[in-house]
Structure 1
Amino acid sequence: MVKQLLFIFLCITSLSIYSQKEANVWYFGNNAGIDFNGTPIALTDGSLNTEEGCSTISDEDGNLLFYSDGIKVWTKNHELMRYSNGQLANNLQGNPSSSQSGLIVPAPENKNIYYIFTVGTDYIPNNSGYPRNPGFNFYTVDVTKGNGGEIIAGPINLSNNRDREWSEKVTAVQGKDCTEIWVLSIVENSFYAYKVDKNGVDYLNPIISRSSYTPDDKRGYIKVSPDGSKIALADFTAGQGIGSGRLVLYDFDNITGRITSSGDLLTTPSIDGVPYGVEFSPQSTKLYASLFIPPFTFNILQFDLLDRDVALTKAQIWRGSGYRGALQLASDGKIYSSIPDKSYLGAIENPDENANNVVYKPVAINLGRGTTTQGLPPFIQSFFAPIKLLNANSNVVLSNTNQVFCIGDSYEIVPEINNPNDIYTWSKDGIVIANTRTLTVDNTNFGSGLYEVKIESNSYCKKTYTGKVQVTFEPKPLINTIPPYIQCDFDNNHHDGYTAFNLELLEASLVDNSSNVSIDFFETSDINFSRPLNKSNYINSVATYHSLTIKVTNNTTKCYQTQIIELQVNPTGLDIYSDEHISELDQNASNPDAKFSIGTGNGFFDFSIKTQKIINNSGGSLSEVTHDFQYYRTTEDATLQINQILPPYEDDLFTNNSNVYVRISNKGATSCETVGNFKILIEKLPIPQGNLNGEILCVDNPRLSPQPHTIALNADTGIISDSYKWYFNGQLIPNKTSAVYNANSAGEYRVEAYRVHPDITTPLMGYNTFFVKESNQALIVNIKSVDDQDNPDSNKIEITVDGLGDYEYALNSTNVSDFSKGNENLTYTFTNIPPGLNSISIRDRNGCGVTTSNKISTIYFQRHFTPNGDGYFDTWKVLGVDNDYYDIVKVQIFNRFGKLVSEITDKNHPGWDGVYNGTTLPTNDYWYNAELIDKSGKTRKKTGHFSLIRK
């Protein structure tokens, strides 16, 4: 709300702080016009239709005199003006397609004479008859002649024989005083400044200044700042793509008419676009430029002229759809923008503000039936220079903002113009109140309101100036009276009378509402409030008793109030209180799936308990009704009363041997009565042993019921006084409180250890978990043997077992390194079984033992033999029967004709060597008939054939 009111006051103030009314009527565009005499209104009676350039002038009372597009001149009656010879004024040397085709300048000290300065362009519309770039010219107009004025002289060419190169730019500003005006234009990199005074236009002696920057194009605006100190030039070079034109800023000396700097380049075409319109804020502190970004974007930028590096202050004010267009400052203090083919103008409402506070309205003034083109009428920039009203005591300018004065103070307002021969008339809200140059104002004599001074100049210029300022009286903040701030001196030297104060603690009691005030403290000797003290850690500069000045400032109105406050330092010892023991926290306390405790090494303490202990030991001198008890971690915190330990105390964690300081003061007061110290000692959690990987309980196979075996779970913490609770699968095991528990079932065993500490009310507790797994030796369920295959390497044995263990298998061995784990826990297949007796051992990897099978017989009837004495298959026999598994072996061997050639009846027989009755039999197939009887009486019969091979 305050910001809105301030903006309203800004608008009220800016409407009328400008004295000149010669710029109060505008004609531009296609039959567009505005009357600024009062609230701006659209004019639709104009005869002007221009693509770009135009110019208008009114008298000092704001009455229209005449206007022009640079070719034609119309009187206040909207009729074409004539030359003295009667010829119509429709052939001036400007051009409606020139950016600033015309500029009208009044003759100093002669209210009847005006000069029209024109600049042409290279562009010639079809059948227009316009001359090709006639350069820079001027005409003289006498408004007392004819029916609204006549052109009595001109054109006079100012182009110095450089017509064709001349730009489309012209501007003007007041010189050293109201008797001189400088008219400026530029050709290539040369600025031409022509002085206009009571003798007319000094066109024979232009002031020529060279620039380091040469514009690539003639288009775009040039403006001088209202205070005459700066010149801004827009080089609208729009070639292929974005173009290359730049915005250039120069320093200008309005006494000599010279450019005094080489020019600063403020924009980058590829980023910002190419500039066309330029304008300064009324106070000459801000520069604005309108730039065109192809294909159809209108961009407005602001630059802060008070900054050392103006280019770095570039800020975008608005960006929207549109072609190139002008910017023009008006007598209401706003800068208006013209985007072609619109029925309205945009406006920068408060151009002297910083960019983040600038208000831009895209639709500010409706033009009725008129429409915009690219141009707006330029004027002598000095028309818009405000008459400043100053605070006589501080020399601060008052007339560019709404001024807030403080109730109880007196102020002197003076205008910057100081001529003893001038007549000053002050009025408030339209009522005359004084006729002095200086006006003294307070809240009792005149109070809040709109103050206006009217200055009637009796100097050679004979002009009337006005200045206005809106004044609002606001109350000063209220400061409450507080008792002395008494601080305990318990630093390194607690008897020297010096210690630290936290002055911020006083703020809540000094003001009832601190939301919109600033509170600062000063030494009483600092009467200018130039050195604010460190509020959060101030050490008194005078021992024991000391005074300070407090200053409370309203952040919005800047009104302030002061008051003296007293500080006092009391020598103080440090009371030592008994230490407090607390349990460390369990890191897994909030994890419902946790299986064991993890001590954090820290814990929290309920300081309300300590407060009660201190009270109980005070002998009745302390209570929570009469005193405040505050706890801190350091002496500095306790002194400054910062970082206080506050409920909920679970938020403050302490490690072992931590210091705590308690500050005791009278209830609700900042005074310190005593300070004490104690330590917080952390007691470790009693964490029992556990085994999450599993304890193995070996049981019988098959498992007996009841199960007689147990395993001892040892959870001992090492502290003999600790007690225990045991849980099985979440259920408490009654009456089991020792460190060791003998478990006889598989499952989850949780053990809690408890430790009693004399200074901690609740026993400390930690927990752990055992997982018990049952296992046993394997029980053989089935053995399947496959032997006598075509290849003895294809023999195999498959075994199936039952049990709770984790089993691995070995053939004919019980060495741990020979066991192998199969893909299945309860089955395993051995291959490449050698002929003979074999056994299988099954080992429980959990350590519950090894089971070994009975002997398994594997035999093989040879498929051939080669009796050549090389040691390999020299005889034929049944392999794998030469053991105690078989009792009887009967084998008969026949030739192909069925004749018995050999017979084996001994299981240890070395085999047939291929000889019959001393005769070596030839290579051939032979047949056998075998009968094997094992020791259990089981008979195995087999008939087949084999080959005798001789090599």
Structure 2
Amino acid sequence: MKKQLLLAFLITASISLYSQKEANVWYFGNNAGLDFNSGNAVALNEGVLRTQEGCSSISDENGNLLFYSDGINVWTKKHELMRYSNGNLANDLQGNPSSSQSGLIVPNPEDKNLYYIFTVGTDFIGYQPYPNNPGFKFYTIDVSKGNGGEVISGPINLSNGRDKEWSEKVTAVQGKDCKEIWVLSIVQDTFYAYKIDKNGVDSTTPITSSSSYYLRDKRGYLKASPDGSKVALADFTNDGIGRLVLYDFDNVTGKVSSNGITLTDEPTDGSPYGVEFSQQSTKLYTSLYHENSNSFRVFQYNLLDANIAQTKTQVHQEQGYRGALQLAPNGKIYASIPDRAYLGAIENPEDNATDIQFTSNAVDLSGAMSSQGLPPFIQSFFAPVKLVNLANNEVLNNSNQIFCIGESYQIQPEKNNPNDTYTWFKERKEIAKTRILTVDNTNFGSGLYEIKIESNSYCKKTYTGKVQITFEPKPTINSIQPYIQCDFDSNPIDGFTTFNLEVLENALVNNLSEVTIDFFETYDTSFSSPINKNNYTNLTATNHSITVKVTNNATQCYQTDTINLQVNPTGLTSYSNEYIHELDQNASNPGAKFSIGTNNGFLDFSLKTQQIINNSGGSLSEITHDFQYYRTAEDASLQINQIIPPYEDDLFTNNSDVYVRISNKGAASCEAVGNFKIFVEKIPIPQGNLNNIILCVDNPRLSPQPHTTPLNADTGNVTDTYKWYLDGKLIPRETSAIYYANTTGEYKVEAYRTHPNITSLFMGYNTFFVKESNQTLIVNIKSVDDQDNPNNNKIEIVVDGIGDYEYALNSTNLSDFTKGDENFSYTFTNIPPGLNSISIRDRNGCGIVTSNQISTIYFQRHFTPNGDGHFDTWKVLGVNNNYYDVIKVQIFNRFGKLINEITDKNHSGWDGIYNGTSLPSNDYWYNAELINSNGKIRKKTGHFSLLRK
């Protein structure tokens, strides 16, 4: 950015003296003023002008103030009111300080004493004595009369009967030459152009141009471009429909193009008010007021672009009301925002929008205040006198011009009148009186060059211009040996082959990053067709010369030299092939469990170089020769895509070709070219199993543990050797393909392979997972009888082991087993009375264990002897098996009388009859004693109900 700002400063400094000094003093706002005679904007505070918007001022050709106006009053350089020829004060001109451009002062092209003030009024009634729009008028002033000037005529009405409709816009620009000036204004959809020449203002025959755009409002600025080719108007409105419109202008005929280009989009952008062109007429700026955000905005348009409207770019925004833009003699564009103690400035208007620097407080007004307006001038005052390079017509005053040491340049101004006087200065000292100046680094050298053009024609004007010239050295090209290339293409003896000229660049210059290098055929003296530097075929067999051009990127100074190319017939030497093993894709993955071959690998080419040297019989060494490796013959020829360390980055698949180029050390010469193949061997990948392999052990586990399970890692190659690891630790002396594992854990196996052409073993690996399991041990079985409901009987079992267990009741069928919530316990419910057994299965396949039979009994709570087959008798359920040897059950009525006794475990039960009589429904009591086969006695007392239905 600092470099860009410096360049912008040099541009504006070089332009400043081209400006006519008639625009060097400004008065505007509330007692504000600026003086540009020093080259910088210096605040003035002796002015008496106080205006809301419109203002104008004019100086003589030496930059001395003549007079200024707000459109109603005219003040002399002594800040006193000017008078009419009749002695009356000139305080009633028909402009208005509330008009955007209330007045514009234009000099007579050939009479330095005569000036014209063109005024436009406004509909605003706040200023007297003209409450209504008076239209477009002009007055003539003779500065040689009176005490600082006198209004000698006016007002002359230019409105053509359209006074009340007239806009607040007026601008002026030079015509086809210095003897004509066009003053331009607009009403609604019609432009009026009035020509001024030595005879004054042609007020009777204006040039009118119809516009396709119809003004929505009268407010806003009108400006012509300094070169007279464009006109732009800002149509400021309060209702969101105003626009900025750009037209073409013919400064020979005074015609404005009918179809203007609309450039803004209200209300998105805001309403345009100020408008201005850059000094070179390449950029257009407008200032807008955006009501919703209460902001002052500035947009830039690139007039060199084919689609100007699409180049719209906002370059500044700040809080504030509408304000004017005005180009100054120093090349900057100043911006006025009402009620500020300073002016803003676009510091570098010629630059692209992204590089624009807008300074909000660029000029302190020394206690005065700005308003909406700034004084307009004849835009041609700011048009630079262009200096051009005679050799190519390049305009030099757009930048600090870089010339090259050793070259001669001819500079001339675009103005060319043989009657004019041309004087050249360097650092303000006269060096020549000629229109064309020849400059080189020995006669005048670097410095600030100025030309003074004194017109001896009817205009009698003086034009000045300057350009900063800096002579810079040309790049230095190092001397190099001929570029010798081996001819090993399809015709190795024809003397033609390909060259990669880029390989010469590091040797040609010492600062490659600062220059651009191009190569040309020697006959291309205009350097119009650079040759393909990285794939060039010589035009002449065996020996050929080309030109190298080295250009400094910063200065564009260049140097040339000749390079000799030489082609040597060369056969392709065959070198021994190389064998490598493929890489393991999982080599860099610490969590990987097995190898994956990549089908490619790398070769250490430093070892190949040593092999070639060892076989050369002493003719080659790394001290005297460079060895370069490539994948293709074309790459080797062009020396592109070289295989360089680290070689691990260059991977080769099986049966790959490699070319080696051997050249003399430090020289662009090819001595020999050979090739060989690379073959890639597969790494051995042993078998593995990432699923658990079950090892069934005893329960409880024996020590030592006698059982094993085979792990087969065989690769299919009988010469491979193996290493086995358990949980990361090497298992000593285990080198076979099969290992018999006798404990749980993670087993890693590495398979190693040898190859006669590969110096070291190469390896692949895999993994097995072994998990121990066993049959269960029954720890406890608990049977729970429910006296109320036989369906609630349950059996709880607890086991132990290292397996994964599931349970079944009275079955060993696999489909009957169930996995419980807990591995080592299970509860069966709804147990039927009688004998039951539980089977426990290891889901890992280590077997089934079945418990002893478990007795479950139930003492009925009631019976209904009605012959329906359901509880027709009362008995103890679940005892009719071989679990119990003795059963004795006594039944009593409620009075304790024994009414029945059951001693047979297969007895069908009491039917409710006592001594042949059916007993009634009632509660009865029992006393039971059960003795199992082990002699264990179980006693039970309770009651039940006899229900007759």
Q: Give the alignment's TM-score, normalised by structure 2.
A: 0.96
**2:382 counterpart (381, 384, 390):** 384
- Superposition pairs of residues 240-389 of structure 1, within 5 angstroms: 243-294=240-291, 295-389=293-387
Shift in alpha-carbon separation, 1:83–1:932, aligned structure 2, 3 A: same
Distance 1:665 1:270, change over 3 A: farther
Tell me which amino acid in the other structure corresponds to 1:304. Answer: N
Q: Deviations over 1:682-725 (max 9, x none)?
A: 32222223333322222222222222222222222222222122
- TM-superposed CA distance for 1:55, in Å, is 1.2
**Per-residue deviation, 1:452:** 1.8
Equivalent residue number for residue 411 of structure 1: 409
2-structure distance, mates of 1:899, 1:2: 127
Q: 1:107 to 1:872 in 2, by over 3 A?
A: same
* Aligned residue number for residue 185 of structure 1: 185
In structure 2, C-alpha distance between the alignment counterparts of 1:270 and 1:174, rounded to whole Å: 35
For residues 226-255 of structure 1, give each alpha carbon's deviation from its aligned partner in whole angstroms, at most 9, with x where no partner exists: 12111010111123xxx3221111011111
Equivalent-residue separation in structure 2 for 1:208 and 1:544 (angstroms): 74
CA distance in 1, matches of 2:900, 2:386: 145
Q: How does 1:179-218 map to 2 (within 5 A)?
A: 179-218=179-218
Asked whether the equivalents of residues 788 and 861 of structure 1 are also in contact (C-alpha less than 8 Å), the reply is no
Cα distance, 1:787–1:47 mapped onto 2, change above 3 Å: closer
- Deviation, structure 1 residue 108: 2.4
CA shift for structure 1 position 595 = 2.9
Cα-to-partner distance string for 1:459-513 (whole Å, 9 max, x where unaligned): 1112222222221111111111222222233344444444332222111111111
Query: SS of the residue aligned with 2:58?
Result: strand
Q: Which residue of 1 aligns with 2:529?
A: 531
Shift of 1:5: 5.3
1:746 to 725, 738, 744: 744
3-state secondary structure, aligned to 2:51: coil
Q: Please identify, of 662-671 and 533-542, the stretch whose mean Cα deviation from structure 2 is larger.
A: 533-542
Once the two structures are TM-superposed, the CA of residue 788 in structure 1 deviates from its matched residue by 5.8
Distance 1:827 1:677 in 2: 74
Cα distance change, pair 9–904 in 1 and its aligned pair in 2 (3 A): closer
For residue 894 of structure 1, report the CA deviation from its aligned partner: 4.1
Provide the residue aligned with 2:857 in structure 1.
Answer: 859
1:783 deviation in Å?
Answer: 1.4
User: Which position in structure 2 is the counterpart of 1:583?
Assistant: 581
CA distance in 1, matches of 2:300, 2:421: 39
Answer yes or no: is the 8 Å Cα contact 2:545–2:563 preserved in 1: yes
Q: Comparing 627-636 with 474-483, which one deviates more in the overlay?
A: 627-636
Match of 2:568 among 567, 570, 575: 570
Q: 5 Å matches for 1:469-868?
A: 469-787=467-785, 789-868=787-866
Q: Which residue of 2 aligns with 1:887?
A: 885
Cα separation, 1, equivalents of 2:209 and 2:703 = 118
**1:831 is aligned with what amino acid?**
T
SS at match of 1:515: helix
* Structure 1 residue 625 displacement after superposition: 1.1
Match of 1:142 in 2: 142
The 3 A distance-change label for structure 1 pair 909 and 296 is closer
CA offsets per residue over residues 11-37 of structure 1, 9 Å max, x none?
43122123x222222222222222222
Q: Which moved more, 1:673-682 or 1:888-897?
A: 888-897
**What is the CA–CA distance in structure 1 between the aligned matches of 2:360 and 2:560, rounded to whole Å?**
46
Which moves more between the two structures, 541-550 or 792-801? Answer: 541-550
Alpha-carbon distance between aligned partners in 2 of 1:43 and 1:441, rounded to the nearest angstrom: 41
**How many correspondences in the alignment?**
946
Q: What SS class does the counterpart of residue 712 from structure 1 fall into?
A: strand
Pairing 1:226–2:226 present: yes
My pick for the range that moved more, 591-600 or 714-723, is 591-600
Larger displacement relative to structure 2 (686-695 or 400-409): 686-695
Give the Å deviation of 1:457.
1.6
C-alpha distance in 2, partners of 1:21/1:297?
A: 34
Please tell me whether the aligned partners of residues 216 and 237 of structure 1 are also in contact (alpha carbons under 8 angstroms).
Answer: yes
Match of 2:165 in 1: 165
Q: Distance in 2 between matches of 1:944 and 1:65?
A: 138
**1:125 — aligned with what?**
126
| Aligned partners of 2:793 and 2:829 also within 8 Å | yes
**CA–CA distance in structure 1, aligned partners of residues 469 and 927 of structure 2:** 137
Unaligned runs of 5+ residues in structure 1 are none
Give the letter for the 2:880 counterpart: D
- Is the 8 Å Cα contact of residues 787 and 859 (structure 1) preserved in structure 2? yes
Name the residue aligned to 1:943.
941
Shift of 1:315: 2.4
The 1:928/1:786 distance shift into structure 2, 3 A limit, reads same
Q: Does the 8 Å CA contact 2:720/2:752 hold for their aligned counterparts?
A: yes
Write out per-residue CA displacement over residues 779-832 of structure 1, whole angstroms, 9 at most, x where no aligned residue. 112111123622211211111112121111111111111111111111111112
CA distance in 2, matches of 1:869, 1:35: 134
Secondary structure of 2:11's counterpart equals: helix
Alpha-carbon offset, residue 94 of structure 1: 0.6
Tell me the percent identity: 73
CA distance in 2 between partners of 1:731 and 1:750 (Å)? 9
Structure 2 CA distance for partners of 1:550 and 1:922, relative to 1, 3 Å: same
Partners of 1:4 and 1:864 in 2: CA distance:
112
Residue pair 1:17, 1:399 contacting (<8 A) in 2 also: no
Alpha carbons 2:888, 2:902 under 8 Å: kept: yes
In terms of mean alpha carbon deviation, does 289-298 or 608-617 score higher?
Answer: 289-298
**Which stretch shows the higher mean deviation, 701-710 or 898-907?**
898-907
Separation (CA, whole Å) in 2 of partners of 1:683 and 1:309? 64
Cα separation, partners in 2 of 1:261 and 1:618, compared to 1, 3 Å: farther
Q: Is the contact made by 1:115 and 1:139 (CA closer than 8 Å) also made in structure 2?
A: yes
2:47 match: 46
Q: Does 1:174 align with 2:174?
A: yes
Aligned to 1:31: 31
Q: In 1, distance between residues paired with 2:363 and 2:792? A: 106
1:441 equivalent in structure 2:
439
Q: Which amino acid aligns with 1:249?
A: L
Alpha-carbon distance, 1:610 to partner = 1.5
Which is worse superposed, 547-556 or 570-579?
Answer: 570-579
Label 1:78 to 1:924 Cα distance change in 2 as closer, same or farther (>3 A).
Answer: closer
Q: Which amino acid aligns with 1:809?
A: Y
Amino acid at match of 1:565: I
Q: CA deviation at 1:895?
A: 4.4
Displacement of 1:168 in angstroms is: 0.8
User: Which segment is superposed worse, 605-614 or 894-903?
Assistant: 894-903
Q: CA deviation at 1:528?
A: 1.7
> Are the aligned partners of 2:295 and 2:317 in contact in 1 as well (CA < 8 Å)?
yes
Cα drift, residue 349 of structure 1: 3.0
Deviates more, 1:520-529 or 1:203-212: 520-529
1:221 positional shift: 0.8
The letter for the 1-side match of 2:476 is: L
Question: Which residue pairs with 1:156 in the alignment?
Answer: 156
| Preserved CA contact (<8 Å) 1:781 1:802 | yes
Moved more, 856-865 or 134-143: 856-865
Q: Cα gap change, 1:926/1:352 in structure 2, threshold over 3 Å: closer, same or farther?
A: closer
Change in 2 beyond 3 A, CA 1:890/1:258: same
> Which deviations, in whole Å up to 9, do the C-alpha atoms of 1:348-382 show, x marking residues without a partner?
33323333344433333332233221111111111
Q: Contact 1:347–1:362 at 8 Å: present in 2 too?
A: yes
Amino acid at match of 2:255: R
After superposition, the Cα gap between the structure-2 partners of 1:491 and 1:897, relative to the gap in structure 1 and judged at 3 Å, is same
Rounded Cα–Cα distance in structure 2 between residues aligned with 1:786 and 1:398: 113
- Letter of the structure 1 residue corresponding to residue 499 of structure 2: F
